[in-house]
Structure 1
Amino acid sequence: MVALLERINEILFAAVLIVSFSLLTYITLQNWRSDIVRALGVLLTGVIIAYSGDLLLSRAQRPETIEFLGRAQWLGIVLVPAGYIHFANALLSFGSANALAQRWRKSVYAAYIASLVIFLLVVLGTNLVIHTGTPSGPIARFKAGPIFWFYVLFFGLATISALIAILIVRRSALTPAQQRRLNYLGATFAAPGIGVFPFLLIASPNMVPLTLILALQAIASMIVIVMVTVMTYSVAFQGMLIPERLIKQDFVRWWLYGPFVGISTILFIQAVPVIAQYLGLPPETLITFGVMVMTVLMPIFVTQVKPYLDALIYRQDHSEIDYLRNLPRNMFTRADLRALLENSLVAICSALQVQTGFVIAPGEDGFSVKAIWGSRRAIRRFVNEHPIVELLPQLERMPYDASTSLDSGSFVVVSTFCLLPLRSPDGIFLGAIGLEATTEHLQRNGGMSPEMRRMVVGLAHQIELALTTVQMQRQIFDALRGLAPEMESLQKLSSRLEQATPATLSSLEDDIVLHPDFPQLVKDALSQLWGGPKLAESPLLGLRSVRRLLAEQGGSPTRALQAVLRQAIANLRPDDQIDPSAQEWLLYNLLEGRFLRRQTVRDVAHRLAMSESDFYRKQRIAIEEVARQIVLMEEHEYENSSGRG
C-alpha cells in the first residue's frame, strides 16, 4: 500500500509541476505587465520550486543529496508568503483602495527581504529554521528550528492579508462578472499555501500513520491542481481589454495543449513498467511505441474535443460562432476565382477550337487580365496595342440581352480578338472574355450544336456568377472593415466596464479611444497636423500617450499630439523587404505624402497612379489604420499604468 501511494504521489507531484509551469508560462506571455499577474507568477514559481524538490527527494538516496534538496526547495517555500503580500497589494491597487495599497507598498519590499533572510538561513546550513531530523521512511527528513515559528507567523499573516484584500476588492466590484471571478479567487487563493507549507515540521510523522500522510499528500496535490487552475483563470487577464469568451477559449486551449497533454504523457510513462512486466517486454521498447502513438493520437484527441468545449464556452453565441468558424471553407476566394476563370476559359476555347483567350475581371486596382489560355505573347501584344481602359467603355455600352449569347451580335471585334462582355443578372458590367478569332471564324468553326452552345453559354454564366459573388464579398468585407473600429471600441468598453471599480469608473468617460467617432477625430487632427483649430482643440489632447510626451515637447499639448500622430504613421511603415506595390506601402505613402509632406490630393493621387475617387477610399482605410495604431499605443500606456499601480 505504501509503495502504491508513493507512486501516486510521484505522479501527482509531476502533474502539479506541469500544470503550474504551464500556467506560469501562459500568464507570462499573455499579461505580464499587470502587477497582479506578476504577483501570481511569484506564487506559481514558489509552487514549482517546492514540488520540484519533493519530486527529486522522492528518488534521492544519498544523505548529502537529501540535505541539499531539502534546503534548496525552501526557496519556493519562502517565496509564497512574500508572493501573497505582493498579491494583496496588487489587488488593492487595482481596486478602490489605492491609498491603502500605497501604504502597504513598503510591506511588499519588507516581505521579500524577510523571505530572502529566511532562505539564506536555511541554505547556508544553519539550524535556526530547520535542521536534520531522524529519517522516518520516505517522509520525515527535517525538524523545526527556533526561527521556524517566525516563518509560521509570517506565512499566516501573509495568507490573511491576501484574503482581506480579496474581500475588500470584492465589495468594491461593480459587475456580476467581476464579482464572480473574485468569488473564484476567494475560494482558491490558498492553493499555493496548501501546496508548499511544510506541515510535517509541525506535526511529527510518528504521531500519524504513514499511509494517511501519503494519502493526504495525494489529496492535497489534486486540490492544488484544480485550485491553482481556477485561481490563475480568475486573475490572469485582469486589465486586458478582450471579451470574456475569448479569455475562456484561450485558457481552455492552452490547458488542453499544455497540462492535459503533459499529464497524459506522464501517466503513460509511469504505466510503462507495469505494462512491460505484464507483457514480458523491455520498457524501452514500449516507451518507443508509446511515444509514437501519443505523438499522433493526442493532437487528434485535442482537435476532436475542442469543438465540444467551444460549444460550452459559446453557449449563447453557438450558431454565430459555428457560422464564422466554417466561413473560410464556404468563401469564394481570389484563388478560387482564378481557378474557375482558368478552367472555364480552357473549356470555352476548346469547345470553340480557339487557340488563345483571356478573361478581363475587376480587382482592387481596377480591371485587368485575370486568366490566360494559349499564347501569352499574343495577349500581351494585344493589351499593349489596345489598353484595357480604352476597351472597357465600348464593351460596357453594348446592349444587354440575357436571352442571347455567343452569336455575332454578342461580340466586339478588336484586331484579331473578339470580346464577349460579362454582366451580372441585373445588367452590371463585370468584365469580358477575349478570344483570338474573328466572328466569321466563330461562325464557321463554331456552327455549334445546341448542346455545345448551351455548355459554352453555361460556362460564361458561371464566370458571371463568380464575378458577381466576389464583388458582393468585397463589399461585405469593406463594410466589416469600416465597422472594425466601432466593434473594437465596443469590445474594449465592455471589458472596461466588466472590470470597473469605483476608482476606475470615473476615468471611462475621458477615454477617447472608446468613442465610436474616434477615427473621425483622428482624421480631423491629421487634416490640420501642421496647425489649426481642429488640432489645437482636438479631444485627442487627452490621450495618455499625449500626456506622456508633454515634458519632451516643452509642455505643449499640440506638439505632443503632433508627435503621437507622426509616430502612429511611422508605425505603419512596412519593412523594406515588402514589395513596393503592396497595399501596406500604398497606405503609408498616401499618409506620408498627404499629411507629413502636405501635398495636394491631386499630386498624391498622381504619384500613386490612382484616381481621386480611389484616393479618398484608400485614405479612409489609411486613417483607420492610424486610429488603430493610436489605440494600440493607448493600450500600451494603460497596461503600463496598471502595472505600475
Structure 2
Amino acid sequence: MLSVLITLNQILVAGVAITAFALLLYALAFNLRDRVARSFALILVAVVIIYTAEALASVAAQPAQQELWLRAQWVGIILLPACYLHFSDALLETTGKPSRGRRRFFVRLAYVASLIFLLLLPTPWFIGPLVRNGLPAPHLKPTPLTDFFTFCYALAMGISGYNLVRAFRRSTTSTGRRRMFYLLVGSIAPALGSFPYLLFGSALAARHVGLFWVFSVLNTFLVGGLVVVMAYAVAFFGVGWPDRTVKSRLLKWILRGPVTASLTLAAVTIVRRAGEQFGNPYSTLVPIIMVATILLSEYLITLFFPLLEQWLFDGKDKNDLELLRRLETRLLTRNDLRQFLEALLAAICDRLQVPGAYVAALDPQGLELLVQVGQTNLENNPTEASLNQVLAQNGSLSGRFRWGQDMLVPLLDEDEAGNPQLLGFLGICKAGDMEMDSEQEQALETLTARMALALQDYRLQREVFESLRTLTTQTEFIQRLRAVGRYHQNTVLQNIPPEPADLTQWVREALSHYWGGPKLTQSPLLRLSVVQRAIEAYDGNVSNALRAVLKEAIERVRPEGERRFTAEWVLYNILELKFVQGKKVREVAARLAMSEADLYRKQKVAIEAVARALLEMEEQNQRQSQIS
C-alpha cells in the first residue's frame, strides 16, 4: 500500500510540475504586461522548480544526483515567500491601495533575504547532507538555520495572506469579489505545495510514514487544482478580452497542455511499473501507449471542445456568437471571390468558345479589374484606364454593348425601390459581333446572374467590415475599461492610453482624411484628452481640433534648423508634402527623388513617428491635468 501511495504521489508531482509550467507559458504569452500577472509568473517559476526537482529526485538512481535535485528543489522553496509578498502587494495596488513605501520595502527585504539563503544553500550551514534512508523519504538533513527559514517562510506567507484578504475586501464589483475569492482560495496552493518538504526530517513525519504519504498525495492533488484556480483568476488581469474569450483560451490550453501531458505521463508510468513486475520495464507497449494517449486526447478535445465551450461560456449570447462563428467560416474573401469568378469565366469561355473573359467590379474609385482568364486585350493595360471610361459612356445600363472587339455585359443588382444598380461588367473577348444560340444565351444568363450575386455578397460584406472596423475601436476601449474597473471602480474615470499599434492605425486613417472625411471626424483619436482640450479651444469644431493636434505632432517630427531636402528631413517632408499639402504620391516621390516603393516604406516610419509624438502629447497633457 505504501508503494502505491509513493507511485501515485510521483505521478501527481510530475502532473503539478507540468501544469505549473504550462500555466507559466500561458502567462508569458498573454498578459505579462500587468504587474499582478508578472508576480504570479514568478510564483509559477518557484512551483515549477519545486515539483520538477522533486519528480527528478524521486527517480534518481545515484545519491549524488538525488542530493543535487533536492538542493535544487530548495531554490523554489526559498524564492516562494518573496514572490508571494510581491504578488500580494501588486494585487493590493490593483484595488486602488498603492504602497506608500512600507510594503515595497518588505518585498525588497524578502528578495534580499531569499538571495542570502540561496547563497548559503550550497553550504552545510543552511541545510545538511543527504539522509538517504531517512523517513518518510530521502531528504536533506535540516539545521538550525533551516528552522529559522521555516519561521520566516510562515511569517511571509501570513503577511501575504493578510494582504490578499485586504484586497478581497477592497473589491467593489461582484465579479471582482468573486475573482478575488478565487485568488484567495487558490493562493493556498503554493504554500501547501512546499509545506510537506519542510516536514522532512521531523520526528512527526518519521513516526507516521503512512499518514504522511496519504497527506502528501491529497496535498499534491489539491495543489494541482488550486494552481489552476489561481491561474484562472489571474488570467483576467491586464487583458481587455471578453470573459468568455479568456475562459475559452485558458480551458483549451489546459486541456491540450497539462491534461494531455499528465494523462500521457500517468499511462506510461503505469505501463512501465507494470512491466517491471515481469522483468521488462521498457516494453514495446510504452511508446504505443504514449502515442495512443496523445492522439486520443487531442481527438477528443477537437471533437468535444466546441460543445463544451458553448455549454460553459456562451450563455444567453449563444445565438449571437453562433452567428459570428458561421460568418467566420462562410466568409467570402477577396481570394474566394476571385476563385469563384475564375470558375465562372472558364465556363463562359468553354460555352462560347472565346479566347478569354474578365470581370471588372465597380467601387467608389471607379472600375477595378478583379479577375481575367485566357487572352484579353487588357494584358498590356494594367491600370485599366480605358475600362474606367466605360461607365461614363454606357451609364444607361441598357443591356449588352460592344467595347472594341469585346462584348460587355452589365452585372446588376436592385435597390429597395427596385431600380437597377451597377455592380460591374463581364467582358467577353472577341465576342462583339457574336450571335449566340438559345443554349448559349441561357448559359450566359445563368452565369452572369451568379457573378452578380457574388459581387453583391462581396459588396455587402465590405460594408459589414467597415462597420466592424469602426465598432472594433470602440469595443476595445470599453473592454479595456471593463478590465481595469473589475477591482477598482475609480479606474473607469481615468484616460487609458491606447495600444501603440492601435494608435498608429488611427493616425494613419486620420491623416488619409486630413482635410476632411469620416476617418477624421469619426476617428478614435477624438477620445484622447489632448484632442478633447483642443476641441474646447476650437469651439467644438472636431475637424479643426484634430487637424491642429495632428499638425503639432507632425511638427514634433521636424528636425531643428532650416528646412532641407536631406536624409534627416525625409520623414517630415513626406508628412508635410503628402498629408498637409495633399500632393499625390508620384509628385512627392519625384520631389524627394525616391521611388514610390521607397516612399511607402518611409511613410510608414513617418506615421509611426507621429503616433509616438501624439502619445507623448497625451501623457504630457494628463500630467498637467493631474497637477492642476
User: Structure 1-normalised TM-score?
Assistant: 0.76
Query: Of 563, 569, 582, which aligns to 1:601?
Result: 582
Structure 1 position 461 matched with structure 2 position 442: no
Shift in alpha-carbon separation, 1:339–1:49, aligned structure 2, 3 A: closer
Structure 1 position 168 matched with structure 2 position 166: yes
Aligned partners of 2:481 and 2:496 also within 8 Å: no
SS at match of 1:354: coil
List aligned pairs for 1:287-306, cutoff 5 A.
Answer: 287-306=286-305
Which amino acid is the alignment partner of residue 460 of structure 1? Answer: T
Aligned partners of 2:413 and 2:422 also within 8 Å: yes
Shift in alpha-carbon separation, 1:527–1:463, aligned structure 2, 3 A: closer
Give the deviation of 1:276 after TM superposition: 5.1
In structure 2, the residue matched to 1:483 is 471
In structure 2, the residue matched to 1:80 is 80
SS at match of 1:463: helix
In structure 2, the residue matched to 1:98 is 98
CA distance in 2, matches of 1:167, 1:632: 41
Shift in alpha-carbon separation, 1:629–1:393, aligned structure 2, 3 A: same
**Two-structure CA RMSD over aligned residues (Å):** 4.2
CA distance in 1, matches of 2:451, 2:55: 67
SS at match of 2:350: helix
Which amino acid is the alignment partner of residue 412 of structure 1? Answer: F
CA distance in 2, matches of 1:605, 1:341: 33
CA distance in 1, matches of 2:378, 2:455: 21
Give the deviation of 1:500 after TM superposition: 2.0
Unaligned residue ranges in structure 2 (runs of 5+): 516-525, 532-545, 559-569, 591-603, 624-628
In structure 2, the residue matched to 1:473 is 461
Shift in alpha-carbon separation, 1:459–1:567, aligned structure 2, 3 A: farther
Give the deviation of 1:266 after TM superposition: 0.6
Deviates more, 1:378-387 or 1:178-187: 378-387
CA distance in 2, matches of 1:222, 1:479: 49
CA distance in 2, matches of 1:286, 1:511: 57
Shift in alpha-carbon separation, 1:177–1:383, aligned structure 2, 3 A: closer
Shift in alpha-carbon separation, 1:600–1:68, aligned structure 2, 3 A: closer
Unaligned residue ranges in structure 1 (runs of 5+): 400-409, 529-537, 544-557, 571-588, 610-621
List aligned pairs for 1:376-395, cutoff 5 A.
Answer: 376=376, 378-380=377-379, 387-395=386-394
SS at match of 2:226: helix
Greater relative contact order (CA < 8 Å, ≥ 6 in sequence): 1
Give the deviation of 1:220 after TM superposition: 0.7
CA distance in 2, matches of 1:91, 1:113: 21
Aligned partners of 1:361 and 1:467 also within 8 Å: yes
SS at match of 1:398: coil
SS at match of 1:58: helix
Give the deviation of 1:489 after TM superposition: 1.6
Which amino acid is the alignment partner of residue 174 of structure 1? Answer: T
SS at match of 2:284: helix
Deviates more, 1:363-372 or 1:194-203: 363-372
CA distance in 2, matches of 1:216, 1:567: 69
Identical-pair percentage: 27
CA distance in 1, matches of 2:23, 2:556: 34
List aligned pairs for 1:105-254, cutoff 5 A.
Answer: 105-126=104-125, 129-130=127-128, 133=131, 135-136=133-134, 139-197=137-195, 198-208=198-208, 210-254=209-253
CA distance in 1, matches of 2:449, 2:71: 80
Which deviations, in whole Å up to 9, do the C-alpha atoms of 1:507-549 show, x marking residues without a partner?
A: x2444769xx996999599969xxxxxxxxx984659xxxxxx
CA distance in 2, matches of 1:605, 1:379: 23
Which deviations, in whole Å up to 9, do the C-alpha atoms of 1:536-568 show, x marking residues without a partner?
A: xx984659xxxxxxxxxxxxxx9x977994599
CA distance in 1, matches of 2:365, 2:339: 20
Aligned partners of 1:358 and 1:379 also within 8 Å: no
Structure 1 position 418 matched with structure 2 position 392: no
Shift in alpha-carbon separation, 1:412–1:323, aligned structure 2, 3 A: same
SS at match of 1:139: coil
Give the deviation of 1:373 after TM superposition: 3.6
SS at match of 2:420: coil
CA distance in 2, matches of 1:567, 1:8: 68
CA distance in 2, matches of 1:66, 1:524: 65
CA distance in 1, matches of 2:347, 2:571: 42
CA distance in 1, matches of 2:514, 2:136: 76
Deviates more, 1:322-331 or 1:466-475: 322-331
CA distance in 2, matches of 1:292, 1:182: 40
Aligned partners of 2:199 and 2:205 also within 8 Å: no
SS at match of 1:32: coil
Shift in alpha-carbon separation, 1:114–1:418, aligned structure 2, 3 A: closer
Shift in alpha-carbon separation, 1:322–1:275, aligned structure 2, 3 A: farther
Which amino acid is the alignment partner of residue 411 of structure 2? Answer: L
Shift in alpha-carbon separation, 1:7–1:366, aligned structure 2, 3 A: farther
SS at match of 1:424: strand
Shift in alpha-carbon separation, 1:626–1:480, aligned structure 2, 3 A: farther
Aligned partners of 1:418 and 1:438 also within 8 Å: yes
CA distance in 2, matches of 1:239, 1:86: 17
Give the deviation of 1:263 after TM superposition: 0.6
User: Structure 2-normalised TM-score?
Assistant: 0.77
CA distance in 2, matches of 1:305, 1:251: 16
Shift in alpha-carbon separation, 1:224–1:568, aligned structure 2, 3 A: farther
Structure 1 position 431 matched with structure 2 position 424: yes
